[in-house]
Amino acid sequence: MTYNEIESLSPVAEELLGVLRGLGFPFELLIVDDGSTDGSGALADELARSNPEVSVLHHTENLGLGGVYRSGFDKARGRFLTFFPADGQFPASILHDFCGSAESADLVLGYLPTRPGAPLARAFSGAERLLFRVLVGRMPRFQGVFMLRRELLQRIPLASRGRGWGILMEMIVRVSGTGCRVRCQPTAYRPRAAGRSKVMNGRTVVSNFLQLLELRRVLRAETRPT
């Protein structure tokens, strides 16, 4: 997924391609361009022309993380599905461990043993986790990258809409609550080489909160006696 990441998109894509080719099975690298205005979309198209495993989906406007996840869920075709941000903070090498774990799990969730970053970003992250636990309940440990058996998306309906991570949190809650095999494992993390974060801002925080309230309402309605 990319939004105005022209400096990091190409190195991240090449790193992912190198690891995926080394795994020895067919794959597709789908780049979701979320309405970039810095030339990232054109660069993604160039990468697709040079690499047959790469395809590109363009959003005509910026839809946020929620829109990117929904597009990826709809368009992915492989047996397993994973998302990597184009900022390069998660090394492609973690796919080796994820693919190994996915053979015996339905959902593999990465987490950061120690949350790096500025104090404000860590505070936002901690507050979101606490709020989620209060409103929706406990869930498996997760931060960043996941791998999912795609067939689960055809069995588990997802209702969340909006810009934030609501649809991803709903997916984790629903998969965890159906008796599926969920595995959490630590992942490596590294500083950005270029650009700036577009996640920790007021617009995204408000969207995440509203989606969380809606998810709480939906889950409660489903468990309410008829």
pLDDT tens digits along 95-144: 999 999 999 999 999 998 876 555 656 666 666 667 767 777 677 888 88
Note the pLDDT tens digit of each residue in 40-69: 999 999 999 999 999 999 999 999 889 999
For residue 1, tell me if it sits in a domain.
no
Give the residue numbers spanning the domain of 44: 9-223
- Rounded CA separation 59/67 (Å): 9
β pairing state of 107-111 and 146-149: antiparallel
For residue 3, tell me if it sits in a domain.
no
Lowest mean pLDDT among 14-23, 34-43, 76-85, 159-168: 159-168
For residue 170, tell me if it sits in a domain.
yes
> How would you class 215 by CB atoms within 10 Å of its CB: exposed for 0-12, middle for 13-18, buried for 19 or more?
buried
- Please say if the pLDDT value at position 93 is more than 70: yes
pTM for this entry: 0.83
- Rounded CA separation 215/166 (Å): 7
Average pLDDT, the chain: 86
For residue 4, tell me if it sits in a domain.
no
Closest CA to 108 of 20, 184, 187, 188: 184
Residues 6+ apart with CB under 8 A from 8: 86, 87, 88, 192, 193, 194, 195
On whether the CB atoms of residues 172 and 142 are closer than 8 A, the answer is yes
At residue 47, the pLDDT reads 98
For residue 155, tell me if it sits in a domain.
yes
Amino acid of residue 34? D
For residue 153, tell me if it sits in a domain.
yes
- Please say if the pLDDT value at position 31 is more than 70: yes
CATH number at residue 77: 3.90.550.10
Note the pLDDT tens digit of each residue in 155-208: 888 888 888 888 898 899 889 888 899 999 999 998 876 766 655 556 667 777
At residue 108, the pLDDT reads 97
Sheet strands (E) in 120-212: 146-149, 182-186
Domain count, the chain: 1
Closest CA to 85 of 22, 9, 143: 9
For residue 177, tell me if it sits in a domain.
yes
Split at pLDDT 50, 70, 90, the class of 23 is very high
